[in-house]
Structure 1
Amino acid sequence: MNYLGFLTGSICCAIVILVIFGIWFDSPKEAILKKENKELQYHYDLLKGKVDNAVKMLGYLEERDANIYRVIYEAEPIPLEVRQGGVGGSYRYADLLERGLKSESLVLDTYKKVDALRKRLYVQSKSYDEILSLARNKEKLWASLPAIQPLSNKDLKRLASGYGYRIHPIHKIRRLHTGIDFSAPKGTPIYATGAGKVVKTKTDFSGYGKHVVIDHGYGYKTLYAHMQDFAVKRGAKVKRGDLIGYVGNTGSSTAPHCHYEVRKNDRPVNPINYLYQGITPEEYEELLRLASVENQSLS
């Protein structure tokens, strides 16, 4: 009897120990599965980041296509509902739903993002085909458009402040910065960013200081401010890359730099969208990053 009681108690204790062990400790199989899940989650997060970056970059391309290229070539804009149209209902993913995946929402979300990205890429590629056909006889226009940086900027570190709302360096209030600032030592050469005619060389004791305005035609003008000296006179015709002046610290400026503006029909537009010649896609992406930092402008 004592033997049976001892045996029964031992079995009960063993069961309790096994239950507790199962609750607090993973079996080898569970440990492997958890490790695999962590690895899958890590790679999913990496993939999601890459997809999100691709969507962001495509957004920049679509913006330039709609607001620059298609405007230049007088092409009708592509409606937003066409660019971002649907890619089918839930039946499109019925096979995934039938599998009963544990991470169903993550997988579906990624599939939907990739499908939407593919649709937008297809529409954008067709748009570029149309723009290409319109561009064949636009050599004069292309030569006139502001398409390069006004300063030689091999390491991309001179872009100090971008277009948009920034803290004014003197008034210390947040206001629209209508250009981009390229920081550089005094005397650094400044170049015309497109072919055109110099319509202004003016010296102000405040504001833009010594500045040059070039009319490129087709509704485009560029402004180069806070110069130390001019290298051109009013009425001069210039080509893209011609020397027009030197970096200074004149007018309402807190450090030597070139404040550069692009104006379309006398309204300032973001110059970053016009820096498309002489730089690689990676360099352009870095310029976008630098221009998007909300910091204090230099003028």
Structure 2
Amino acid sequence: MSKVKYYYDSENLAYKRVLTKKRKKFGYIVLFLMSSLLFGFLIFVLLINTSYFETPKDKIQAREIEVLQLNYKLLNKKLDLMSEVLGAVENRDNNIYRIYFNTSPISDEERKSGFGGVNRYKDLLGFNNSELIENTTKRVDILTKELVIQSKSLDDIVLLAKQKEKLLAAIPAIQPVKNEDLKHMASGYGYRSDPFTKIKKFHYGMDFTSKTGTAIYATGDGVVYKADASLSGYGNHIEINHGYGYKTLYAHLSKYNCKPGQKVKRGDLIGYVGSTGRSQAPHLHYEVLKDGVHVNPLNFYYGSISAKEYLEISKLANQENQSLD
């Protein structure tokens, strides 16, 4: 039973009953119901955004996310192992296979190129696990690119292996003149005194002293590129392109025994010693180039001399004497 309220009427000096209007009472009820509804809605929103109130669907999705995160972690562990194995293959490729077949190694920049600049993973951003997904996707892309490069490299190695016999025949592996007693070595590769100016300058080949008319031999299989006097100071000279990046030059000849375009084999007679061009005395000036760069011819005589003879000729070649051209 609701309480009855009274108020004191000072004019009539009496207590009178407080009468509540029905409309006002209804308004209070409506206000109470709306407040209760709003409060209940706020409580509901708070509950569904906490872990205390999860629907079965939410629980399934949370479990699927946990499984995906675990799978990504396992995938990254597998990627670590694959990267380690690939790194070992790349190391053998650069430091064993390519050195054995005299070809340049593949640089790290070339193996990992093509992943800079524009962010190709922007579609993966904005999610709770974006960093994990982006890093994993990037690692897969890099590993795929490295595998493609390594696969092509091994194809090259297989091709080189098939051509190994031709490669070994093409390498300039003998001395260009007969030198059994090793007394024909006059000047080696490196800084030497110029016979005309007496100033030290780099000597890019080796000088073999011999009588005019002494036979000169091709040091490896190849094709005669030049047989003329077009290079200043070299006099009559021959250039042979051996392939695989190798070239040899024979200078100051008295005459030729070959012509441009002719195929030659190691040991073929190609010309004769002379003293044409910028030369102080009859001799053969001999150069070896690999990929367009001069290299020391002394490193290529394994096909015609023993280890002991190599040490002897090495001592003679390394003496800082005077060159003959």
> With structure 2 as the length reference, what TM-score do the two structures score?
0.52
Residue aligning to 2:99: 71
Structure 2 counterpart of 1:246, from 272, 294, 302: 272
Cα 1:72–1:251 shift into 2, 3 Å:
farther
Conserved 8 A contact 1:223-1:261: yes
Greater relative contact order, per chain length (Cα 8 Å cut-off, separation 6+): 1
> Counterparts of 1:165 and 1:150 in 2: how far apart (Å)?
22
Residue aligning to 2:302: 276
Cα 1:264–1:68 shift into 2, 3 Å:
farther
> Which consecutive aligned stretches of 4+ in structure 1 deviate over 2 angstroms post-superposition?
66-72, 74-77, 134-137
Cα 1:249–1:171 shift into 2, 3 Å:
same
The CA deviation at 1:71 is: 3.4
Q: Which amino acid aligns with 1:201?
A: A
Conserved 8 A contact 1:205-1:251: no
> Counterparts of 1:256 and 1:67 in 2: how far apart (Å)?
42
Residue aligning to 1:144: 170
RMSD: 2.6
Matched, 1:155 2:197: no
Q: Map of 1:74-93 to 2, 5 A cutoff?
A: none
Residue aligning to 1:221: 247
Q: Which amino acid aligns with 2:297?
A: P
The CA deviation at 1:279 is: 1.0
The number of equivalent residue pairs is: 179
Structure 1 counterpart of 2:233, from 202, 207, 217: 207
Structure 2 counterpart SS, 1:275: helix
In structure 2, stretches of 5+ residues that fail to align are 1-93, 106-159
In structure 1, stretches of 5+ residues that fail to align are 1-65, 78-133
The CA deviation at 1:230 is: 0.4
> Counterparts of 1:68 and 1:247 in 2: how far apart (Å)?
39
Residue aligning to 2:281: 255
- What's the % identity of the aligned pairs? 58
Structure 2 counterpart SS, 1:198: strand
1:248-294 CA-to-partner distances (Å, cap 9, x unmatched) read: 00000000000000001111110000111121111111111111100
Q: Which amino acid aligns with 2:191?
A: Y
Q: Which amino acid aligns with 1:258?
A: L
Residue aligning to 2:314: 288
> Counterparts of 2:262 and 2:189 in 1: how far apart (Å)?
28
Cα 1:196–1:286 shift into 2, 3 Å:
same
Larger radius of gyration: 2
Cα 1:69–1:230 shift into 2, 3 Å:
farther
Residue aligning to 2:141: none
Select between 138-147 and 204-213 the one with higher mean Cα deviation.
204-213
> With structure 1 as the length reference, what TM-score do the two structures score?
0.56
